[in-house]
Structures are given as C-alpha cells and as structure tokens.
Amino acid sequence: MTNRTLDGKVALVTGAAGEIGTATIQLLAERGARIVAVDRDSEGLARAFGKLPASAEALSIVADVSHEQDVASYVTRARDAMGGVHIFFNNAGIVGDIKPIPDYPVETLRRVLDINVVGVFLGLKYVLPVMRSQGVGSIVNTASVAGLMGGPHFAAYSASKHAVIGLTKSAALECAGSQVRVNCVCPGLIDSRMLSTIVNGMPVEKALERIPARRLGLATDVAAVVAFLASDDARYVTGASYPVDGGRTAG
C-alpha cells in the first residue's frame, strides 16, 4: 500500500535540482506532499520535475538562496500559490575548495559561508514566521558529517556545516512551545556528483573502510530520513541532528 503520510502538506525544498534534493522531492511527492522546488539551476529543476510522479502538484522557482530578496520572494510565492508551507527542506549547499587552510582563498570561504550558512539562515528567517502563523511545520536543514567532525582540508565546509547545526538547535529553541519543529540531517559520503570533490583523489575503497556499513550512502537514504522528520511520526523530535552516514560518526 502506498505510504501517503504527507497528504495535503506543502513541501518547500531548496537545492531541489541536486541529487539529494531531487530524491527528496520525489519521495515527498510520492507520500502526497505538494512540492515547491527551488534552485538557481533552471535546467536542473526541469530535469528534477521530469522525475516526479505524474499526479504530483508542483511549482518550480529559480532563486539564489544567498540573496535575501530571492528568499523573501520564494517563500511568499510558495505560501501564496499553495496556501501555506508545512515542510521546509533547507538543503542547497556547495562544497567549495578542498585545500589546507594556508592555501584556502578567503573569497571561496566567503562563498561557502554565504550559501551554506547565510542561505540556510535566510530560509529560516522567512519560513519561520509562516509556520508560526500556521501554528505547525517541520523544517529540516542539511548539515553534514562535516558538521559533527573536523577534517583536514575541509575547514571552510566543516565550519559552514557546524554552523548549520548551531542554527538548527537555536531555531528549535526559538520555536519552544509551538508545533514548529527544526531538525537537521548530516549525510555522510553519498554516491553523488559531490563525491569526487569530497574524496579528493582518495580511492573510494579506502573511504569505505571508515564506514561501518561498508557502502556509500544514496540520495534516497537521506530522503527517507527527511521524509520521516517532515512527518507527524517525528512529532516529538526537534533540535536534533540525524547522521545518515552508515555509522561513520559512531566511532
């Protein structure tokens, strides 16, 4: 039987043209959510839409999550077109360069922080009032295992993802006493186009030795946890960071 736990809910997803975003809009739509998909890549958004179930009700918006005006506008358009925002997957992000700190260009650091931290912050800034006025909502930010641990040559990305966890906990506390929940997912090594940048020349087999599950994660593995956190099954979960990493951060 189809699992329609998200029937009637409106899901706003950023980075929807990316691998994790696309897998997530597919799963949320299969579970009955109406989708508002945001990305700066219009062609990628069109490709992602092609993978949605034929019955899905969906709207796409081209926007840059690091521009405040774009964020204010995508949130207003989503609310006006769909009548509310019940689920917000605040997911767009970039890796930046993988370099030792002395070699790391400060402009790249600023770009990483601008998208991964300012972008997530702006999403919260504009979605929280909508959810608080509805009295209910679930936000899932995308952090990373790099938000739970440091890594050589990953300072910028790791700092940005630690910040996402801080934003998640603080936003959850700001929603205390309401039915608005804020959590984050911390994907590990996901079989995706980011992978080659992340492993940075290390053979994948070597990277797998550090993963107790002995396989790469899939975008669908992340989507499944997002769908759970988005649903009422997670009604008592807020301020939490969920590793989706095959046990990588357990040791």
Ligand X SMILES: NC(=O)c1ccc[n+]([C@@H]2O[C@H](COP(=O)([O-])OP(=O)(O)OC[C@H]3O[C@@H](n4cnc5c(N)ncnc54)[C@H](O)[C@@H]3O)[C@@H](O)[C@H]2O)c1
Q: What residue ranges bind ligand X (CB under 6 A)?
A: 15, 17-21, 39-41, 44, 64-66, 91-94, 115, 119, 142, 144, 187, 189-190, 192-195, 198
d(C-alpha 239, C-alpha 184), whole Å: 8
Strand partners, 28: none
For residue 21, give the amino acid letter. G
d(C-alpha 143, C-alpha 190), whole Å: 13
Instruction: Write the CB contacts of 227 (distance below 8 Å, at least 6 apart in sequence).
Output: 5, 6, 24, 27, 28, 31
Q: Of the residues 74, 104, 126, 157, which is catalytic?
A: 157
> Least distance to ligand X from the beta carbon of 146, Å?
7
For residue 245, give the amino acid letter. D
DSSP state of 57: -
Strand partners, 182: 139
For residue 167, give the amino acid letter. L
> Least distance to ligand X from the beta carbon of 127, Å?
15
> Least distance to ligand X from the beta carbon of 26, Å?
13
| DSSP code per residue over 203-224 | -HHHHHTT-TT-S-B-HHHHHH
126 in active site:
no
Shorter beta-carbon distance to ligand X: residue 140 or 189:
189
Instruction: Write the CB contacts of 194 (distance below 8 Å, at least 6 apart in sequence).
Output: 19, 95
Task: Please identify the residue of the shown chain whose CB is closest to the bound ligand X.
Answer: 18
Helix then strand count (H, E) for the chain reads: 9, 7
Strand partners, 244: 187
Report how far apart, in Å, the C-alpha atoms of 146 and of each of 12, 121, 179, 237 are: 24, 18, 29, 22
Shorter beta-carbon distance to ligand X: residue 94 or 172:
94
Shorter beta-carbon distance to ligand X: residue 172 or 198:
198
> Least distance to ligand X from the beta carbon of 202, Å?
13
> Least distance to ligand X from the beta carbon of 88, Å?
14
Give me the active site residues, please. Answer: 157
